[in-house]
Structure 1
Amino acid sequence: MGWKTLDDMDLNGKRVLVRVDINVPVADGKVTDDTRIQRITPTVRDILAAGGRPILLAHFGRPGGERKAELSLQQLVPALEAAFDCPVMFAADCVGAGAAAAAEALKEGEVLLLENTRFHAAETKNDADLAAGMAALGDIYCNDAFSAAHRAHASTEALARLLPACAGRLMQAELQALEAALAKPERPVTAVVGGAKVSTKLDLLSNLIEKVDHLVIGGGMANTFLLAQGHAIGSSLAEASLTDTASEILTKAKAAGCEIILPSDLVVARKFEANAPHEVLPADACPDDAMILDAGPASVTRIAEVFANSKTLIWNGPLGAFEMEPFDAATNAAALKAAELTRAGTLISVAGGGDTVAALNASGAAADFSYISTAGGAFLEWMEGKTLPGVAALEQ
């Protein structure tokens, strides 16, 4: 761990620039899901409790360097005040005289929210001058936006190098969970990788086969591997052009001592719709006019056995078409098994990615996982073994 936390900083009387992710859904000017706001609340409250004065930096939507009223962060002030239980001031820019005056006027027990960083085109260019303008507003930099840590932007990378820097509580939790899962995990380690396309997760698969003991592949991705093994997959979603790549991954995994687990039985249907007539067939018996929509019960039994013999689990992506009953069965059953083992204290379970979070929430298993990351792209890039600029900057 080469980065500092809030516990390592003297916050009393200091203005703390906190990079957060409050890119929340809004309808008619009101926040409809405040999950991301709730997740940064511990950081803000801890800074306030230590006598610090939090100044929030955040992006909202994709304004492309232009000021757009509908993407102003000002509309989030009521939701932030409700979550933090304190006054939240607002400045109409994230740099300049107005922002400086607001930062100077900030009182103990108050929070200042600066306007959307992406109203400046220089933000996404990691511009040094913009970062310097932000740095002038504070004494300490705290990054609590792991979800934006894979972007080298002015507020996530350049700014971190200009002030004493640390990780916020959410960033700290993300990094500790991921380090426990991949950097120094308890073995055996199992990874579940699902989703539609192999092409979007080639780097992930290549990295994982060198680091995990078992790799469960599900979803549309599994179909490409079944095709590579010579199995008919009917009209199933697959990437026929990547069968050679899939074969190479299987070969490399064997050489690395990583067992790849593909479905041994399948749930197939003729229509891609909820409750479509379906049947369970062996993995090599998909009819030409059918499509694979889930892994079968024998596959789930095997996955459960692997989980039971593992110490660490990393999960990214569903095992089937989890949005539709009954093709959510494999994902739900596997998730509930992981949750059961985690509750029992025999498994460390870390999951992340948009579809993954939705699937685990739908299964009812999410609350029992050791950690669930809402970071999406940053979570994926970390699993791919890539250096995240926002994290690397904290380690300087």
Structure 2
Amino acid sequence: MPAFNLRITRALAQRAEQGLTRTLLPHQGIAQGALHHHGQSFVHFSGNDYLGLANSAELVQAWQQGLGRWGAGSSASPLVTGFSDVHQRLIRELCDWLGYEDGVLFNSGFSANQATLFTLLEATDTLLQDKLNHASLMEAGMLGKAKMKRFKHNDTQHLTQLLTDDIANPFVVTEGVFSMDGDKAPLMDIATACQNRAWWMVDDAHGVGVHGPDGAGSCALAGVKPDILVVTFGKAFGLSGAVVLTRREVADYLTQFARHHVYSTAMPPAQAHALLHATHMIQTQQWRRDKLNELQHVYHDVFHFLPGYVATDTPIKPFIVGESERALRLARCLKERGYWLTAIRPPTVAQGKARLRITLTADHNPEQIIALAQELTRLFEEGI
């Protein structure tokens, strides 16, 4: 109908005018810190494969073993015949490792976050979210039944003020590590604020595998245990999917009522087998985290004097540029010089906060980081 055509045309034109058009760029593979695109190899600084597991021969072999044992797909939703013994073993392993009674598997972190908020919260509840929480959480808050309030980023004092208001059934949500700024939530302070006052949930997508003893994540590092912990497998695990870890009764409630779980085809059992192996790799291969730590020191040494540098103690290194067009220009120039970095622009980040989101992985080496800093320095000297 004309109304739909006009709406779509206007929206696309407006986005183009604002310089915010996003484009899919198909590549021919990523391995050992390199991305291959149109016959050219780039040093890759835009992924979330922090431990370098995605192309690990050991993990690839584990998935191949899973394919040989269980085939390619699960063939059904979990409550029909899609849930296998390897799914159950994966949940049990994650629970034993991270200290929870039970869990529910999802096909993405996005669906895990939305399913949890949509399912648990009613109109009589109040959802309190960090202002910079992931889009999946914010959208669930806006579309869900509960009344949503946002507290200032990592501001426990503001959260405490909201909790002392006359609000009904408060439910607090934060991330463990924030994906755009690379900073960590003050989890101990949040735990104290929520104690005997609110349920709380942590999405530790960027923390588990990287932080804490044996990679147990941000909560383990802070010595706290939220009521609900969301762990996604698309970052340090090198795969995809997610799990919501919680008390057994809450997990059963999600199993019964979370529509993203009930009505989605289950994760392939071969993938669950590979995830089980990735879980063991994360816990036993400390050298990957040690290397990441070494690379972060290198990054600081060569980047800290550049305008736009932001100090973080995570592999996420935001390099603030300011305007969207300049971020795009810098990313384009770096690609011409063999470095693949993605320009992050509004609405993902605030106006005037466009950036190059640099991420480090165990697949990088110090020389690549030093060379990237040198190229950026040259571009600044050229006035770009």
TM-score for the superposition, normalised by structure 2:
0.31
Higher relative CO (CA 8 A, sep ≥ 6), structure 1 or 2? 2
Larger radius of gyration: 1
